[in-house]
């Protein structure tokens, strides 16, 4: 297990720390419905959404993507806090990680991301919370990971763990020059082999146990 003792802990947000897919799917369907496109189920959203809105919407909606973006934001802002729920075992894992600098790097818009962190009362855990639009580019570009580390006063190296649930998260970590840590089996994203992490924990519970051992 390379660099089995981390110096910094960075996390993805959706499907790694929280389940917010009901709210995301509802807002996406508001945009899709306005353009007469087929609606997505919550599982569709969970399985298909990877990159940020500013990258995905021009592909999905073409020249009208900014109007679709505005519809999405209007729907999402009105209800997303009703649907954000901690994943099982996450509060205990974050508590186990308090001996390290911790941060979040997500492709959720930074404004919503920070609102959700505050809503859950998790601000005390994170020295940096970086979302889509905060850096020059979004994941899988390394820019948001580098921005989070700059805010923490750290540099990118293998002692930084970036933890997520998708192959894109692992790609972002490798691009940033940090250790790619997969949480779960990435069954919704082609499996562990496709994700190709440096370190793999089959669940957040195994991560929590590892952090408690190291602490």
Q: Per-residue pLDDT tens for 80-106?
A: 999 999 999 999 999 999 999 999 999
Exposure string of 110-136, with b = 16+ CB inside 10 Å and e = fewer, is bebbbbbbeebebeebbbbbbbbbbbe
pLDDT in tens, 54-63: 999 999 999 9
- Partner residues linked to 19 by β-bridges: 85
If one counts every other C-beta atom within 10 angstroms of the C-beta of residue 79, the result is: 12
Q: State the pLDDT at residue 38.
A: 97
Three-state SS at 9: strand
In CATH, 8-19+85-214 is 3.40.50.2300 = no
- Give Cα 131 to chain centroid, integer Å: 8
Give burial (CB, 10 Å; 0-12/13-18/19+) of 206. middle
Three-state SS at 14: strand
When pLDDT is averaged across residues 198-207 and rounded to a whole number, the result is 97
Rounded CA-CA distance 82/119 in Å is 10
Q: State the pLDDT at residue 103.
A: 98
pLDDT above 90 for 188: no
pLDDT above 60 for 210: yes
Rounded CA-CA distance 95/159 in Å is 20
Average pLDDT, the chain: 95
Please count the CA atoms within 13 angstroms of the CA of 169 that sit on its side-chain side.
33
Cis before residue 139, ω within 30 degrees of 0?
no
Going from N- to C-terminal start, the domains of the chain cover 8-19+85-214, 21-82
pLDDT above 70 for 2: no
């Amino acid at each position: 297990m390379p660099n089995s003792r981390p110096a910094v802990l960075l996390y993805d947000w959706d499907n790694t720390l929280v389940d917010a897919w009901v709210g995301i799917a509802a807002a996406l369907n508001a945009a899709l419905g306005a353009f007469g496109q087929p609606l997505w189920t919550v599982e569709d959203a969970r399985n298909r959404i990877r990159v940020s809105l500013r990258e995905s919407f021009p592909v999905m909606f073409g020249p009208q993507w900014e109007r679709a973006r505005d519809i999405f934001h209007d729907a999402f802002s009105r209800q997303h806090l009703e649907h954000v729920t901690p994943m099982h075992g996450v509060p205990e894992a974050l508590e186990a990680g308090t001996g390290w600098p911790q941060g979040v790097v997500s492709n959720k818009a930074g404004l919503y991301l920070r609102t959700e962190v505050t809503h859950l009362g998790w601000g005390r855990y994170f020295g940096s919370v970086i979302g889509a639009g905060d850096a020059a580019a979004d994941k899988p570009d390394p820019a948001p990971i580098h921005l989070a580390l700059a805010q923490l006063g750290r540099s990118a190296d293998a002692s930084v763990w970036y933890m997520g649930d998708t192959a894109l998260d692992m790609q972002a970590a490798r691009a940033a020059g940090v250790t790619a840590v997969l949480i779960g089996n990435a069954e919704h994203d082609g499996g562990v082999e496709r994700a190709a992490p440096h370190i793999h924990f089959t669940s957040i519970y195994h991560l929590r146990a590892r952090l408690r051992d190291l602490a």
